Amino acid sequence: MFNTVEELIKSLTETFGPSGEEETVRTMIANLVRDRADRVFEDALGNLYAVKESNRPRIMISAHMDEIGVMVTNIDENGFLRIAPLGGVNPIMLLGQRIRFKNGLTGTVYHEKFKELKELDWSKLYADIGQRDAAAAENNVKIGDSACLAQPFNNLPGGRCLAKAMDDRVGCAVLIETLRRLPERLPQEVCFVFSIQEELGLRGAKTAAYSYEPDFGIAVDVTLVGDTPKAPTMAVSLGQGPAIKVKDSSILCHPRVRQLMVETAENNNISHQLEVLERGGTDAGAIHLSREGVPSGAISIPCRYVHSPSEMIDLKDVLNAVELMVKLLTKEWPFSEESNVF
C-alpha cells in the first residue's frame, strides 16, 4: 500500500505499460484493489475490473492503463532500430529521449541528417541501444517489441508533478484512491475498469462496456489546458479543479450526467471547471456507444504537455477529483429499470 496519492502516482507512472503491454500495470493495480472490491477479475483482452456489488443502476468508471510508446519495426546490420509510434506520438518529442523496453533495456532516440524540421518524420528517426551489430541487438530486442519513455516522476515545489504516462496513470490513481475511500455499501453498483489500448482507439473500454452492460459510464482521464505561453485558447487551467467534460471528439457528454457532476461539485464546494476539448477522445466515447447507448460523462485531470515525456499535473486537482468521485458515487442516482430514459 502507498501512504500518499503522490507515492501512488509515482509508482504507477514509473511502471512500464505501452498499449498492448499493460500486464505490469495490471498486476500492480489488481494487488492494490483486491481487498477493496467484491469481485476483481480480468477479461480475455486484459481489461481489469473491480466491482462493488449493489442494486442497479450499474455505473462503469474507466481509466486506461496503457501509455503511448514506440514499437521496433526493423533492426539494421549495425544494430540500430527503426521504430513506429504506439498512439499519438510526435517524433519531435522523442529526440534525445531515453526509451525503455520491458526487459529493462534502455536506449536513446536520435535522427538522421535533415535540412528542415518539417522533414523530421518517423522515417528519419532511429533508436540506439548501444549494440555493435544486428546479432548483438537481436540478443536484446526483437521486432515487435515495445518501449515506453523513460522519465522518472518528479515532485515540484508547490504541489505540481512531472512524469511520463500521467496520461492516464493519474486517472488510475483517482480510481484506486476513490475505491479506498468508498464506504462498504453503495446505493448502486459501481464497476471500476482499468482499460487497455485506449491510446490506439478506446479499444479496451469498448469490449468492457459490452460485457459489463453499464447503465451509466464515466471516464477519468487527462485533458489539455490553455494556461501555458501562447497556448491554443482553452478554458481549462492546472490547479483549478477537475474538469467536468462537456465534449471531446469522441463524445458529447450526456447533459444529465454532466449536470449530476456539476451539482455534486457545487453542493460540496469542490473546485471544478468545464472542459470542451476540441481534439482527442476518452473511454467515455466507446462506453456511450455500446449496446443500446449508455448515458456517459467524464472527469478530467488538467495536464500540461500531454503525450510528451514530461506531463505535468497539480496534485490538488487529483485530490479534488477523488473527492468529487466519492461524493458522486455515494449519492443515489436517479434510475428506473422500466425506462432507460434518464
Q: Which lies closer to Co ion via its Cβ, residue 221 or residue 323?
A: 221
In the bound state, the residue with its beta carbon closest to Zn ion is 168
- Closest approach of Co ion to the CB of residue 174, in Å: 15
**Rounded Cα gap, residues 25 and 81, in angstroms:** 26
**Rounded Cα gap, residues 248 and 260, in angstroms:** 19
Among 22, 66, 167, 317, binds Co ion (CB under 5 A): 167
Instruction: Answer yes or no whether residue 167 interacts with Zn ion by CB under 5 A.
Output: yes
Q: Which lies closer to Zn ion via its Cβ, residue 100 or residue 169?
A: 169
Instruction: Answer yes or no whether residue 317 interacts with Co ion by CB under 5 A.
Output: no
Q: Which lies closer to Zn ion via its Cβ, residue 167 or residue 275?
A: 167
- Closest approach of Co ion to the CB of residue 20, in Å: 14
Part of the chain binding Co ion (CB under 5 A), chosen from 77-85, 162-170, 174-182, 312-320:
162-170
- Closest approach of Zn ion to the CB of residue 149, in Å: 14
Binds 221: which of Co ion, Zn ion, none (CB < 5-8 Å by kind): Zn ion
Residue 192's closest CA among 210, 214, 224?
A: 214
Residues assigned a catalytic role: 198
Part of the chain binding Zn ion (CB under 5 A), chosen from 74-82, 99-107, 166-174, 243-251:
166-174
Instruction: Answer yes or no whether residue 168 interacts with Zn ion by CB under 5 A.
Output: yes
Instruction: Answer yes or no whether residue 275 interacts with Zn ion by CB under 5 A.
Output: no
- Closest approach of Zn ion to the CB of residue 240, in Å: 20
Q: Which lies closer to Co ion via its Cβ, residue 63 or residue 141?
A: 63
Name which of residues 217 to 246 contact Co ion (CB under 5 A). Answer: none
Query: What is the residue whose three cell numbers read 476539448?
Result: 277
Q: Do residues 88 and 199 lie in contact, with contact meaning Cβ atoms separated by under 8 Å?
A: yes
Q: Which residues bind Zn ion (CB under 5 A)?
A: 167-168, 221
